[in-house]
Amino acid sequence: MKLFSANIEDLRTLYINNLKKALDMEQEITDALPKMIEKSTDQQLAAAFRDHLQQTQGHVARVEDLLRRSTGDIDTITCKAIGGLITEAEDSIKDAKHTAIRDITLIAAAQQVEHHEIAVYGTLRNWATLLGLSNDAQALESILNEEKAADKLLSSISDGVNMQAAA
Ligand SMILES: [Fe+2]
Ligand SMILES: [Fe+2]
Protein backbone atom coordinates (compact mmCIF):
# COMPACT_ATOMS: atom_id res chain seq x y z
CA MET A 1 0.00 0.00 0.00
CA LYS A 2 1.35 3.43 -0.96
CA LEU A 3 0.76 6.25 1.50
CA PHE A 4 1.12 9.97 0.81
CA SER A 5 2.09 12.39 3.57
CA ALA A 6 -1.48 13.57 4.19
CA ASN A 7 -2.54 9.94 4.52
CA ILE A 8 0.30 9.35 6.94
CA GLU A 9 -0.91 12.17 9.22
CA ASP A 10 -4.42 10.69 9.18
CA LEU A 11 -3.07 7.21 9.81
CA ARG A 12 -0.99 8.50 12.72
CA THR A 13 -4.09 10.06 14.29
CA LEU A 14 -6.04 6.86 13.73
CA TYR A 15 -3.21 4.85 15.26
CA ILE A 16 -2.95 7.06 18.37
CA ASN A 17 -6.72 7.12 18.88
CA ASN A 18 -6.87 3.35 18.67
CA LEU A 19 -3.98 2.99 21.12
CA LYS A 20 -6.03 5.16 23.50
CA LYS A 21 -9.00 2.81 22.99
CA ALA A 22 -6.75 -0.20 23.56
CA LEU A 23 -5.66 1.30 26.89
CA ASP A 24 -9.29 1.75 27.96
CA MET A 25 -10.01 -1.82 26.81
CA GLU A 26 -7.14 -3.27 28.88
CA GLN A 27 -8.18 -1.23 31.93
CA GLU A 28 -11.74 -2.54 31.65
CA ILE A 29 -10.46 -6.12 31.31
CA THR A 30 -8.25 -5.60 34.37
CA ASP A 31 -11.40 -4.67 36.32
CA ALA A 32 -13.47 -7.56 34.91
CA LEU A 33 -11.00 -10.44 35.39
CA PRO A 34 -11.05 -10.52 39.24
CA LYS A 35 -14.84 -10.99 39.06
CA MET A 36 -14.38 -13.79 36.52
CA ILE A 37 -11.82 -15.51 38.77
CA GLU A 38 -14.27 -15.29 41.65
CA LYS A 39 -17.07 -16.86 39.57
CA SER A 40 -14.95 -19.72 38.16
CA THR A 41 -15.44 -23.17 39.66
CA ASP A 42 -12.92 -25.07 37.55
CA GLN A 43 -9.48 -24.68 39.13
CA GLN A 44 -7.64 -24.68 35.81
CA LEU A 45 -9.94 -21.95 34.52
CA ALA A 46 -9.45 -19.81 37.63
CA ALA A 47 -5.66 -20.25 37.31
CA ALA A 48 -5.77 -19.27 33.60
CA PHE A 49 -7.73 -16.12 34.47
CA ARG A 50 -5.26 -15.28 37.28
CA ASP A 51 -2.29 -15.64 34.91
CA HIS A 52 -4.02 -13.58 32.26
CA LEU A 53 -4.86 -10.87 34.79
CA GLN A 54 -1.13 -10.51 35.40
CA GLN A 55 -0.46 -10.39 31.66
CA THR A 56 -3.27 -7.86 31.21
CA GLN A 57 -1.69 -5.59 33.82
CA GLY A 58 1.45 -5.84 31.69
CA HIS A 59 -0.58 -4.90 28.59
CA VAL A 60 -1.85 -1.77 30.39
CA ALA A 61 1.74 -0.81 31.24
CA ARG A 62 3.02 -1.46 27.71
CA VAL A 63 0.24 0.45 25.96
CA GLU A 64 0.74 3.33 28.43
CA ASP A 65 4.40 3.26 27.54
CA LEU A 66 3.66 3.43 23.78
CA LEU A 67 1.25 6.33 24.30
CA ARG A 68 3.62 8.20 26.57
CA ARG A 69 6.40 7.93 24.01
CA SER A 70 4.15 9.04 21.11
CA THR A 71 2.08 11.74 22.81
CA GLY A 72 3.68 12.47 26.18
CA ASP A 73 0.41 11.44 27.82
CA ILE A 74 -1.71 8.40 28.73
CA ASP A 75 -5.19 9.59 27.74
CA THR A 76 -7.87 7.02 26.97
CA ILE A 77 -10.83 6.91 24.59
CA THR A 78 -13.77 4.72 25.67
CA CYS A 79 -13.74 1.37 23.90
CA LYS A 80 -17.48 0.80 23.43
CA ALA A 81 -16.95 -2.71 22.08
CA ILE A 82 -15.36 -4.05 25.27
CA GLY A 83 -18.06 -2.38 27.38
CA GLY A 84 -20.67 -4.25 25.32
CA LEU A 85 -18.85 -7.57 25.57
CA ILE A 86 -18.49 -7.25 29.35
CA THR A 87 -22.16 -6.29 29.83
CA GLU A 88 -23.23 -9.27 27.72
CA ALA A 89 -20.95 -11.55 29.72
CA GLU A 90 -22.36 -10.30 33.03
CA ASP A 91 -25.91 -10.96 31.80
CA SER A 92 -25.15 -14.52 30.63
CA ILE A 93 -23.25 -15.34 33.83
CA LYS A 94 -26.21 -14.16 35.90
CA ASP A 95 -28.46 -16.55 33.94
CA ALA A 96 -26.15 -19.57 34.41
CA LYS A 97 -27.33 -21.36 37.54
CA HIS A 98 -25.16 -24.51 37.44
CA THR A 99 -21.42 -24.28 38.04
CA ALA A 100 -20.32 -26.16 34.88
CA ILE A 101 -22.65 -24.00 32.76
CA ARG A 102 -21.30 -20.91 34.46
CA ASP A 103 -17.75 -22.04 33.66
CA ILE A 104 -18.51 -22.54 29.97
CA THR A 105 -20.26 -19.17 29.93
CA LEU A 106 -17.14 -17.58 31.42
CA ILE A 107 -14.95 -19.28 28.81
CA ALA A 108 -17.21 -18.14 25.97
CA ALA A 109 -17.19 -14.57 27.24
CA ALA A 110 -13.43 -14.56 27.76
CA GLN A 111 -12.81 -15.94 24.26
CA GLN A 112 -14.95 -13.20 22.74
CA VAL A 113 -12.80 -10.67 24.59
CA GLU A 114 -9.57 -12.37 23.44
CA HIS A 115 -10.78 -12.41 19.83
CA HIS A 116 -11.54 -8.72 20.06
CA GLU A 117 -8.09 -8.06 21.51
CA ILE A 118 -6.48 -10.16 18.76
CA ALA A 119 -8.24 -8.02 16.12
CA VAL A 120 -7.24 -4.80 17.90
CA TYR A 121 -3.56 -5.69 18.29
CA GLY A 122 -3.25 -7.24 14.83
CA THR A 123 -4.52 -3.96 13.34
CA LEU A 124 -2.39 -1.74 15.58
CA ARG A 125 0.72 -3.78 14.77
CA ASN A 126 0.04 -3.42 11.03
CA TRP A 127 -0.53 0.32 11.34
CA ALA A 128 2.65 0.76 13.41
CA THR A 129 4.54 -1.07 10.65
CA LEU A 130 3.01 1.18 7.96
CA LEU A 131 4.05 4.23 10.01
CA GLY A 132 7.59 2.91 10.27
CA LEU A 133 7.33 2.54 14.07
CA SER A 134 9.19 -0.73 14.37
CA ASN A 135 9.58 -0.65 18.19
CA ASP A 136 5.84 -0.12 18.55
CA ALA A 137 5.15 -2.90 16.06
CA GLN A 138 7.35 -5.27 18.07
CA ALA A 139 5.68 -4.42 21.39
CA LEU A 140 2.22 -4.83 19.84
CA GLU A 141 3.20 -8.14 18.25
CA SER A 142 4.31 -9.46 21.62
CA ILE A 143 1.00 -8.45 23.26
CA LEU A 144 -0.82 -10.02 20.30
CA ASN A 145 1.01 -13.30 20.89
CA GLU A 146 -0.03 -13.34 24.55
CA GLU A 147 -3.68 -12.78 23.56
CA LYS A 148 -3.46 -15.64 21.05
CA ALA A 149 -1.91 -17.94 23.67
CA ALA A 150 -4.64 -17.01 26.18
CA ASP A 151 -7.31 -17.83 23.60
CA LYS A 152 -5.68 -21.18 22.81
CA LEU A 153 -5.45 -22.11 26.49
CA LEU A 154 -9.15 -21.28 26.97
CA SER A 155 -10.00 -23.54 24.02
CA SER A 156 -8.14 -26.43 25.60
CA ILE A 157 -9.73 -25.85 29.04
CA SER A 158 -13.17 -25.66 27.42
CA ASP A 159 -12.79 -29.22 26.09
CA GLY A 160 -12.81 -30.56 29.67
CA VAL A 161 -15.39 -28.15 31.02
CA ASN A 162 -17.77 -28.71 28.07
CA MET A 163 -17.78 -32.43 28.85
CA GLN A 164 -18.85 -31.71 32.44
CA ALA A 165 -21.51 -29.25 31.31
CA ALA A 166 -22.99 -31.79 28.90
CA ALA A 167 -22.93 -34.60 31.50
FE1 LIG B 1 -4.75 -7.75 26.77
FE1 LIG C 1 -6.43 -10.81 26.77
Q: What is the pLDDT of residues 52-76, one digit of tens each?
A: 999 999 999 999 999 999 999 999 9
CA of 22 to the centre of ligand 2 (A): 11
Predicted confidence (pLDDT) at residue 4 exceeds the cutoff of 90: no
- How far is the centre of ligand 2, averaged over its atoms, from the C-alpha of 117 (Å)? 6
Give the rounded percent of residues in the chain with a pLDDT score beyond 90: 87
Question: Given this model, what pLDDT does residue 8 score?
Answer: 85
Closest to 27 in 3D by CA, of 70, 59, 69, 65: 59
Average pLDDT for 91-113: 94
Q: What residues does each domain of the chain span?
A: 11-166
- Between CA 8 and CA 21 the distance in angstroms is 20
The pTM of the full predicted model, rounded to 2 decimals, is: 0.93
3-class state of residue 127 by DSSP:
helix
Residues within 5 Å of ion ligand 1, judged at the Cβ atom: 56, 59, 117
- C-alpha 39 to ligand 1 mean position (Å): 20
Distance of CA 101 from the midpoint of ligand 2 (Å)? 22
CATH architecture, domain 11-166? Up-down Bundle (1.20)
Q: What is the distance between the alpha carbons of residues 62 and 45, in angstroms, rounded to a whole number?
A: 25
Of the pLDDT bands very low, low, confident and very high (cuts 50, 70, 90), residue 160 is confident
Q: For position 59, what pLDDT does the model report?
A: 98
